[in-house]
Amino acid sequence: MSRTTLVTGRLAESALRHVLARVDAGSAPAYDVAVLNIQVAALMTPVWVAKRLEVPAGTTRVILPGYCDGDLSPIRERVGVAVERGPKDLRDLPRFLGGEAQPADDFGAYDIEILAEINHAPRLNIDEILAIAERYRSAGADVIDLGMAPGQTWDGVGAAVRQLCAAGHRVSIDTFDPSEAEAAAEAGAELWLSAHAGTLDAVRSVDCEVVVIPQRPRDADWFDDLQRSIDRLDRWGVRYRVDPVIEPIGSGFAASLQRYALTRERVPGVEMMMGIGNLTELTEVDSAGVNMMLAGVCQELGIRSVLTTEVIDWCRTAVRELDLARRLTHYALRHAVPPKHLDDRLVMLRDARVVEHGSEALAALAEQLRDRNYRIFAEGGRIHVMNADVNLTGNDPFELFDQLRVTDASHAFYLGYEMAKAVTALTLGKQYRQDEALDWGFLTVPEHSHVARHGGKHVEPPREARDDS
């Protein structure tokens, strides 16, 4: 029978046993707790632990606090069993010990290509174009699309395409001007967006793949028009993909989605593309959820390329959002599972999980504190601040701060910063962890904690920190 020993310090012992009691409810205990002679478990180091740790007979696994950084081999050599780090927060321990199912090895695969448009490219110099293209590529774009200015012919399109290709980019050209498309294709562009029945003759002089759209998508005979274009392109031997054109909400959005489904039904083998900017750019809402839904539509209909833009501010990370969304939808469809509990980086405004200690655990912790280091929690709609001298709870960080009577400027700044994060977490329904960045999904910028900056102390060094490491 496997048996796990969890290592902790004196301060966290009670909370750890409380968590394990819930994990073990109704069964014989499979966990032991090794309490080392240190108050703050985060101050442990593997070398320090290796000198002091004794595990019960039958132990097959040792779990250290998540903040115990460094090489774990000294501990493995001492105890002779597997040693690993657990979560940094005890609230995550039940999920960690529960061994929640992990995605299969193929998670992260995708088959949807992202075209990222540089809007109004003729207005930019080449250095600006190259910088945007590199940012798009880093975010997951496969093809850099040069968006032209309608009614104006850009003489520099060929030079721009050549420099992009020289930098290793794949390039497409977004224009209704055949002369611009021809110049771009000669310079190395591989795709022209877009042609329709009225401009189709021009594609024979442009040596690249073309995106074909209905000339009047909202007309009743839109598919017949599109089919005639497809037939002509097939006769000419021109490579193409079809985009039935998505419409903004309020202008036929639902009907436009039906066009994609109908096209897939009637010409099942045709390559298709969806230009999604009409929805993301023209819908005043954070774009991540919209991109996820559209990626799901594309995945299920076999639409293997999407065109996106990052013009308006709520779309400023659309490329990265689509890159994550295409991986989620690919896995979901391949394994016939919902795209859930696979990768939470698109959960940005709120958190995937918020776990609280509970009022009893917080009260017990407050009773155990013997130092002046402040602990801050955000639970039950309130901020909790405690150390050996105070245990305060309230909604207003200014009122709480007044009661703390802090005079040191750096410490006052730290407490204000942390309480501002706590208020943000309570407002949005996010998990607050002191000394850590709030989780903003793939937008999270990790914080170098106050504790690390000041040698493991908020106010004064705990006695253990001065003689152990």
Mean pLDDT by 10 residues, the chain (469 residues): 87 82 62 88 87 91 89 92 88 76 80 97 96 98 94 91 98 93 96 93 92 94 96 96 97 96 96 96 96 98 98 97 97 92 92 88 89 92 95 95 91 94 96 94 86 54 35
Q: Is 192 helix (H, G, I), strand (E, B) or coil?
A: strand
Q: Are 62 and 5 in contact (CB under 8 A)?
A: yes
Give the helix ranges, DSSP H, for 34-92.
Answer: 46-52, 73-79
User: CA 66 → CA 7, 24, 72, 89, 436, distances in Å?
Assistant: 10, 21, 12, 7, 13
The identity of residue 60, as a single letter, is T
CA dist., res. 300 & res. 199, Å (int): 31
CA dist., res. 28 & res. 13, Å (int): 20
Q: Sign of the C-alpha dihedral, residues 307, 114, 104, 302?
A: positive
Structure tokens at 436: 């850590």
The identity of residue 182, as a single letter, is E
What per-residue confidence (pLDDT) applies to 98? 73
Q: What is the largest CA-CA distance in the chain?
A: 85
CB atoms within 10 A of CB 353: 12
Tell me the pairing of strands 82-85 and 113-118.
unpaired
pTM: 0.82
Residues 6+ apart with CB under 8 A from 114: 140, 141, 142, 143, 305, 306, 308, 319, 322, 323, 326
Q: Are 114 and 141 in contact (CB under 8 A)?
A: yes
What per-residue confidence (pLDDT) applies to 467? 35
CA dist., res. 265 & res. 364, Å (int): 63
* Radius of gyration for the chain, computed over Cα atoms and rounded to the nearest angstrom: 29
Q: Are 302 and 272 in contact (CB under 8 A)?
A: yes
CA dihedral 59, 62, 63, 69 (to 10 degrees): 170
Q: Are 317 and 141 in contact (CB under 8 A)?
A: no
